[in-house]
Amino acid sequence: MPQSLLSIPMRYFMEVAQAGSVNQAAARLFVAASAVSRQVAKLEDSLGTPLFERNRQGMVLTAAGQRLAGHLRNTVLDADHVLEEVRSLGGQAAGRVRVCCTEGFASGFMQALMRDFQAAHPAAGIELHVGSPEEVSQRLLRGESDIGLKYVVAPEAGLRVEHVAPAPVLAVMLPAHPLARGRQVELAQAVRFPLLVGSPGVTARQLLDLACSAQGLQYRALFVSNFSSVMLPLLRERDIMLSGQLTVSHLIEAGAVVARPFAEPMLQQRRLQALSLEGRTLPPLVQDFVRQMVRAIGAQARRKLGHAARRPRPKPVSSGR
């Protein structure tokens, strides 16, 4: 990684900013903690402003520290891009795309997208990291991924939106479910059935809890998990699973499930966003990946409208793997 192109005080500062601890940064740099502290203090003295707040929880960036860290991240990433181009001119590499996403996109949508992208760019490398919504954001902020895909309900500082699309929470059911006949589902109807829901940190679960609280409704969580691919095969005739359309698009296509939007506006507020680090210029290969991702998202949205008009034939649910 071209962080070695930075001066020693800048390198040590970035390690502390990422680790949140002088001791952890020192361990990663294989130097003494006193050396790290000395270099950070030297940098602060030269700039005439503190870069960290030092407390019992560790080292927390000040506003000035956040500004400097953001600038240096972009500098490092731009340098990485230049080195990739130099290597490719020498025939050593064809470039790579580093993607992160939440679990719901990984098994169906992202697999198909990566397969199609590699068909168009046979020599390109792809790195995919699957994590929580918070982890996706943090990887982008640390420069560990180029592009992220996740559901959001509010803007996030330090990240740039490359693409946004509506992503309402859907009621996913087997075709024989009593509520599968309608074009939408009312929350008061849905909570009468056993629900398969995400963990509290998942956006669909957050919106469900808010909507139920607003209406004074309670629900029975039959199964709770942050892994939708675990819950999908457990779906029974009277169960409802909360999900996004891209998570179950392959099952909708197969006729294994139907997905209906909720009538409540609160459950329609969620957005799907493709995100990158604010202030960074994405390499051409990553820009190609984003364009292909946007086309794939649009194609899935159009397929959803086509499938809403007809009734799918019952088929066994599978995880799509």
Nearest Cα residue to 287 out of 163, 166, 135: 163
Residues 6+ apart with CB under 8 A from 74: 277, 279, 280
**What's the pLDDT score for residue 10?**
85
Q: Please give the helix or strand (H or E) that residue 250 lies within, else none.
A: helix 245-254
**What's the pLDDT score for residue 201?**
80
Token pair for 314: 């019952």
Residue type, 293: M
**What's the pLDDT score for residue 49?**
92
Q: Which domains does the chain have, with CATH numbers?
A: 2-85 (1.10.10.10), 96-321 (3.40.190.290)
**What's the pLDDT score for residue 93?**
47
Can you tell me the distance from the alpha carbon of 159 to that of 140, in angstroms, rounded to the nearest whole number?
8
Which residues does the chain have with pLDDT short of 50? 1-2, 90-93, 305-315, 318-321
DSSP three-state, residue 195: strand
Give Rg (Cα) of the chain: 23
**Mean per-residue pLDDT over the chain, rounded:** 85
Residues 144-169 have pLDDT tens digits of 899 999 998 888 888 999 999 999 99
**What's the pLDDT score for residue 180?**
93
Residues 58-114 have pLDDT tens digits of 898 898 888 888 878 777 766 666 556 555 554 444 588 999 999 889 888 999 999
Backbone angles phi, psi at 288, to 5 degrees: -60, -40
CA angle 280–285–286, rounded 5-degree value: 45
Buried b / exposed e across 238-265, counting CB within 10 Å, b at 16+? ebbbbbbbbbbbbbbebebbbbbbbbbe
Can you tell me the distance from the alpha carbon of 163 to that of 276, in angstroms, rounded to the nearest whole number?
10
**What's the pLDDT score for residue 305?**
37
Backbone angles phi, psi at 274, to 5 degrees: -95, 125
Can you tell me the distance from the alpha carbon of 59 to that of 20, in angstroms, rounded to the nearest whole number?
5
Tell me the pairing of strands 170-173 and 221-224.
unpaired
**What's the pLDDT score for residue 119?**
94
